[in-house]
Amino acid sequence: MPDKPSHRSHSQLEQDIGAARTATGPLLENLLYHTSSEVLSALLENPRLGESHVTVLLSRKDLPRDMIRQIAQNREWMKSYSLKLAVVKHPHAPRHFSFPMLKHLYLFDLMGIAATPGTPPDLRRQAEDAIFAQRERIALGQRLTLARRGSSRIAGGLLNDPDPKVLESALQNPYLTEIEVSNALYRPQANSCLTDTLLEDSRWINRRLVKLALLRSEFLSLGHFMDLLSRLNIQDLADVAEDARIAHNLREYAGKLLKSRQASQRRKINARQASK
């Protein structure tokens, strides 16, 4: 059991709470770092508490959720862009306050939230959605920056950009994953440029999910289809042979290759058993 606070410490706390409501200058600044949530809450009642003070409070990762709620509900403070951004980025910010604020943030602040390690997954996705909502109005230079530095999902979304330079930049993004690349190939807006670029890209052409997505691309030539098919394992080959999205003649070819591969595998097994 924790020790009960002494009369003296309780008296000091009461003094600090009272001071927080009226403090100015250095005393007010010192109280911003107080360990008591009661003192911090009393600070919000101080009419001299300004934007710079609230900025310090929001920089504290231990700031209670209820205090962030009170700050977010203060219309005067929320006229400040920097305070709005600080509320959104705070790990304890109530989502029903932070999510609606995303639509008021600048593009690159949204990108920073989405790409920062440790950002909660739901907040990251909302920030990415806010970026996608602006996509029609984003200039080429900004799209290039997003493609190079954005999160995996942002870079993946830009793989379907009509400008080849954006596509090339997105493929070099260090956060990009093969799931996002394969998803881009399945989208209705996928184009021949994406297929052709991936076929020449040594970083992606040998990734399993990318190969499987390329095999289902309407822009893949017969020669490339046969080449990719020869690199598949038996299970993936069987999936291709049964996939109704692929042209019937190509599925038949995949089926014949599968039977040949299975027969070869059986011969090897029989040979090993005979040699024992």
CA distance linking residue 98 with residue 95, whole number of Å: 5
Residues counted in the chain: 276
Predicted pLDDT of residue 83: 97
How many domains are contained in the chain? 1
Predicted pLDDT of residue 227: 95
The answer as to whether 132 is a domain residue is no
pLDDT of residue 136 exceeding 70, the answer is: yes
Assigned token pair, 261: 């591969």
**C-alpha dist (Å) from residue 252 to 12, 221, 236, 256, 257:** 84, 16, 15, 6, 9
Predicted pLDDT of residue 10: 72
The answer as to whether 29 is a domain residue is no
The answer as to whether 20 is a domain residue is no
Cβ atoms of residues 33 and 16 within 8 Å? no
Predicted pLDDT of residue 169: 97
The answer as to whether 45 is a domain residue is no
pLDDT of residue 97 exceeding 60, the answer is: yes
Residue in 135, 187, 188 with CA at minimum distance from that of residue 163: 135
The answer as to whether 26 is a domain residue is no
The answer as to whether 268 is a domain residue is yes
CA distance linking residue 20 with residue 45, whole number of Å: 8
Residues 113-124, mean pLDDT to the nearest whole number: 90
Predicted pLDDT of residue 6: 52
First to last CA, the chain: 71
pLDDT of residue 253 exceeding 70, the answer is: yes
Give the range of the structural domain holding residue 214, as residue numbers without chain letter: 191-276
User: 164-175: per-residue pLDDT in tens?
Assistant: 999 999 999 999
CA distance linking residue 212 with residue 220, whole number of Å: 12
User: 4-51: per-residue pLDDT in tens?
Assistant: 455 557 788 899 899 999 999 999 999 999 999 999 999 999 999 999
Question: Who contacts 20 (Cβ-Cβ below 8 Å, separation ≥6)?
Answer: 31, 34, 39, 40, 42, 43, 45, 46
Q: pTM for the complete prediction? A: 0.78
Q: Which residue has the higher pLDDT, 211 or 118?
A: 211
Residues of the chain with pLDDT > 70, as a percent, come to 97
Predicted pLDDT of residue 118: 86
Predicted pLDDT of residue 3: 41
The answer as to whether 114 is a domain residue is no
